[in-house]
Amino acid sequence: SVVQELRRNGTLSYEMSLIRDIRDREFKIFTDAGRVMRPLFVVEKEFKKPNRGNLVLNKTHIQRLSADKDIDTSR
């Protein structure tokens, strides 16, 4: 979907929660501070993509995780 592509290419921040509420026919975006984030691993399903069926995790992702570990959160 368009929203997934925007999230994956970095246009929409990973810190935002995006919820599609089918019953109320609403698309909800939450950006409040302290929002809990869960890890998300994306597996490419599109047949024509070279990484189809594989977890696409690269060195940049690991470096980001390492940098987050070094952030002082005691304040």
Q: Which pLDDT tens digit goes with each residue over 4-63?
A: 888 888 888 878 888 889 999 999 988 887 766 666 676 667 777 776 767 777 788 888
Look up residue 20 and give its DSSP letter: E
Q: What is the pLDDT of residue 69?
A: 73
Q: Using CA atoms, how far apart are residues 51 and 43, in angstroms rounded to an integer?
A: 8
| Closest listed residue to residue 38, CA positions, set 61, 15, 20 | 15
Confidence (pLDDT) at 39: 64
Question: Which residue type occupies 17?
Answer: S
Distance CA 52, CA 68 (A): 29
Q: Which amino acid is at 52?
A: R
CA distance 34 to 10: 20
Question: pLDDT per residue over 61-72, tens digit each?
Answer: 888 888 877 777
